[in-house]
Structures are given as C-alpha cells and as structure tokens.
Homo-oligomer: A and B are copies of this chain.
Amino acid sequence: MSSPHNPSQNHLLAALPPAEFERLAPHLELVPLLLGQILYEPGGQLQHAYFPTTAIVSLHYVMESGASAETAGVGNEGLVGMALFMGGDTTPSSAVVQTAGHGYRLAGRLLKQEFNRAGLTQRLLLRYTQALIAQMIQTAACNRHHSVEQQLCRWLLLTLDRLPSQELIMTQELVASMLGVRREGITQAAGNLQHAGVIRYRRGHISVMERSGLETRACECYSAVKTELARLLSDVRYRQEISAVAG
C-alpha cells in the first residue's frame, strides 16, 4: 500500500501533467518541517523549493527594528521558493514554518529546469505566483484598514483551510508575530471570540468551534483571497481527474 505521504497531497504537484510529474517525482524528497524552522532568510541563496503537504509556511518580512509581519502564507495549495524561477534567486523576506508537518523538497536547479521548458508547469507556477501576489496585496490593504480581531479571524480561516483538523498548535505570541501586532492584542481578540463560543483554547492550542462565527467576524479579505486563488487555479486539472476522464 502507499505510504501515508504522497506528493499529490500538494495541489500544485497534483496538478502537474503526468509527463512533467514523472520527471520531477524521483527528485522530490519528503522532509519534516519543524515549527519555527527557517526555510530561507532574507538575501540567502535558495537551494530548494518546498511543496508543503501538511505543514504551513509563513512568508515574513522583518524590519530593522525587529518588528515583523506576515505577507502571505503557503500551505498544501502552493510552494515556497518562487524566487527560484522568477529569476532573482532570493527575496528580501524570510520563510518560517508556522505549523509543523511535512513537505516535499526539490533542488532549485531542477525546478528552474522544469520551469524553463515553458510547458504547463511554467504556466501553473506563474498562476500560483499571481495568487500569491493577490494575497500580498490583500494583506497590505488589510493591514491598513482592518481591526486586529478581523485580521485574526481572516488568519484563522486561511490557516484552517490548509489543515485537516480544526485545531491549531499555536501560541498567541506566535499569532501576534504573524500579524505583526502585540501579543496582548491577540489575547484580547481571542478572548472575545472564545466568549462568543467561536473558538476555544488551552495553552498553545486553538480549536475552532464554529467556523461560521469566524466568517462573519472576518473582513472581506479572507473571501477575496480564496476567490482569487480558486479563479486562478480553476482550470487546472488534477492527474486523478484526468485519468478518471480518460478511463
């Protein structure tokens, strides 16, 4: 039987056409991604791209003062390391594992190679990059105009969509550093949500009780990001579907 881990758990890998997938598959290496692990630092040369399956990675910008802010998150819908094929080799932001889990690692050289064949892989990667851009734009606007509670709800929903369970292993401190706000601000907002019965938590564990509650309290940014991702990747087919159609 197949192992519990499978590259197709990552949506981008799952969407590659068979020929292109077969070329990459032998080089995909399953790696554990540990909470807090840094996949790359600003300015550092990227050696690998990562296709998360169960892990979630946060793209983070850290300012001179030490203050930081997440600009986008990457889960099983995407990949970390866009700078490899965009040509810059590195970015001024860093990538940190926000939820522990696994992902598939691919040597940067091979990703570039496949990208430069200018086939469907290229097309797919560019589409995904555009979705990532949309997420960053949304984050920029959200940072400007929405309250901490709204942003917390947005963030919880986005994270939830990338996880199999309803529970996040996550301290408030960590959430605060993601959103770039004070820890106390999160305590406050989370307290409200708990009071309303929307979430519950114990030390380092946040459980979502009532997803719809988050949706009504979140700002429009959540659905905007989801909609744009769906739009951009709507016409991609997964190999399974293709073979189902073919068979």
Cβ-based interface call for A189 (8 A) = no
Query: Whole-angstrom distance from the CB of A91 to the nearest CB of chain B?
Result: 7
Interface residues of A: mostly helix, strand, loop or mixed?
A: helix
Q: A145 and B63 in contact (CB under 8 A), knowing A93-B137, A140-B139?
A: yes
- Of the candidates A85, A91, A92, A231, the one having the most CB atoms from chain B within 10 angstroms of its own CB is A92
Interface residues in A, total, Cβ within 8 A: 44
- Do residues B61 and A138 form an inter-chain contact, with CB atoms below 8 A? yes
Instruction: Encode A63-102 as 1/0 by CB contact (under 8 A) with B.
Output: 1110111010000000000110111100111000000000
Q: Counting CB contacts under 8 A, is A232 at the interface?
A: yes
B127 touches A88 (CB 8 A): yes
User: How far, in whole Å, are A123 and B87 apart by their CA atoms in the complex?
Assistant: 7
A129 interface hit (Cβ, 8 Å) = yes
Q: Contacts A86-B126, A88-B231, A118-B118 given: A63-B220 contact, CB under 8 Å?
A: yes
Q: Which residues of A contact B (CB under 8 A)?
A: 59, 61, 63-65, 67-69, 71, 82-83, 85-88, 91-93, 116, 118, 123, 126-127, 129-134, 136-141, 143-145, 180, 220, 224, 228, 231-232
